[in-house]
Amino acid sequence: MQQTSETSQARPAGADREGGLARLTAASLAAAGVQVTGPDTDGRLVIAFRAAQCELTVSDSADAELFWTPFAAEAADPHRVADLAAVLLSGQAGARHPDTVSSGDLTFKGIVGMDLRAAGFTVELNAYTDDYYYDVTADITVTDPRAGNTGAVYVTDDGGLTWHRDYWEDHAATEWEPAFRTWLPNPSAVARAIADDVSRALSVGYAVRAAC
């Protein structure tokens, strides 16, 4: 949430310095047994994860963004990436679409999207056209229509997954008098919520098979 002339954000103890929420999240992840480095000055945390680059960025306005990219795209398992997305959005692993088990002609994002659609998620295909080189790239956006605010997941054909969620809506307090302001009364609770969601998702298992 951006600060404007009409909106101020007070940061209570624990997030009273820039990057405080990222530091609290790092501590909560470490307490959950997740090996984490950082944050850097941009609120970026590096999470140790086998066969994949995993980074989590947390802002003081309670935006969390997870980037998960396999080191070897050819070794990525789309079914497990679908599980990773499902847990990030709903807290539970998803399902398998019968057509994704037997067909060998589907794209990576196609398998992920069909699995997630079979599990009740909303899946949208995004196409990006390049009118200079006359090329097209695409990814999918996944959301959970059964949940109010669990963010959105984006998946590409190279196995990359990005999850974004705004925690401000669920944790901020608002005061109208004497002047309007909104702030996080308990930043530690926000940090724990972010860490719980991320660590739970990563615990679904290694989302890539070891390269042969």
Q: Domain spans of the chain?
A: 20-202
Beta bridge partners of 173: 183
Look at 99 and 39; give whichever has higher pLDDT.
39
> What local confidence, expressed as pLDDT, does residue 2 receive?
39
54 sits in which H/E element: strand 52-58
Look at residue 114 and give its three-state secondary structure.
helix
Cβ-Cβ contacts under 8 Å for 147 (sequence gap 6 or more): 89, 90
The 10s digit of each residue's pLDDT in 116-141 is 999 999 999 999 999 999 999 999 99
The 10s digit of each residue's pLDDT in 146-161 is 988 999 999 999 999 9
> What local confidence, expressed as pLDDT, does residue 8 receive?
41
Look at residue 115 and give its three-state secondary structure.
helix
The pTM of the full predicted model, rounded to 2 decimals, is: 0.86
Q: Is 11 left (phi over 0), alpha (psi -120 to 50) or beta?
A: beta
Q: Report the distance separating Cα 81 and Cα 114, nearest Å.
A: 12
The 10s digit of each residue's pLDDT in 13-35 is 345 568 899 999 999 999 999 99
Query: Do the beta carbons of residue 132 and residue 145 sit within 8 Å?
Result: no
